[in-house]
Amino acid sequence: MKDKLKTYYKRGTEELKKDNIRAHKLTQEFNSTDMEEVEKKEAVIRKLFGSVGRNASIEHNFHCDLGYNIHVGKDFYAGYNCTILDIAEVIIGDNCMLGPNVGIYTAGHSIEPKDRNKSGYAMPINIGNDVWIGGSCVILPGVTIGDNSIIAAGSVVIKDVPSNVIMAGNPAKILRDI
C-alpha cells in the first residue's frame, strides 16, 4: 500500500480542467451506453481507469474526477450512483463490492474559510481484497480498508479499517471481528 501523502492542488488549473473534461466525456459515454452492450461499457471503463482487472462490473450513473487514478482488481462490482473523486489514487483490490450510492472521496478543502474554494488537498484511498462496502457509505481521504472487511450501509469512514472487521456508523466504528 502507498504512503498517505497529502497532495495539494489548485482548483481550475488548465491540466486538471483538461483531464476532468476527458473523464466527464468518458463517464457520459459509459452512462449512456445500453446496459446490454457489456463489451462497449467495459472498453470505456478500461479507457477511463488507470487499471482494471477481469470481470469488472459498474452500474449506471457512475461519476469520477479524472479516472486514471482509479485502479480496480478482478471481479470488482460497483452499484448504481457510485462516485469516486480521484484527485489522488484510489486502489481497490480483488473481489470487492460497492453498494448503491457509495462515495469515495480523496479530495478535501481547508477548514479555514479564506480561499477555501480556490485550492484543496487530496490523499490516496486503499481498499484491500474481498471488501464489501454497503449502500450509501462515504469513504474519506487517506483511508485504508483492510482485507475481508465489511462497511455497513450508511457508514462514514474517517479512519483506517483493519482487516477482518465489520464497521458501522457515523463516524464508523468497529462492531465486531469477522
Average pLDDT over residues 75-103: 98
pLDDT band at 8 (very low <50, low <70, confident <90, very high): confident
User: In order of start, what are the domains of the chain with their CATH numbers?
Assistant: 7-177 (2.160.10.10)
For the whole prediction, is pTM greater than 0.75? yes
Has 24 been annotated as catalytic? no
Instruction: Convert the pLDDT of each residue in 147-163 to its tens digit.
Output: 999 999 999 999 999 99
**CB under 8 Å to 134, separation ≥6 — which residues?**
99, 150, 151, 152, 153, 154, 155
Catalytic residue among 24, 60, 71, 109: 109
| Single-letter residue type at 131 | V
pLDDT band at 48 (very low <50, low <70, confident <90, very high): very high
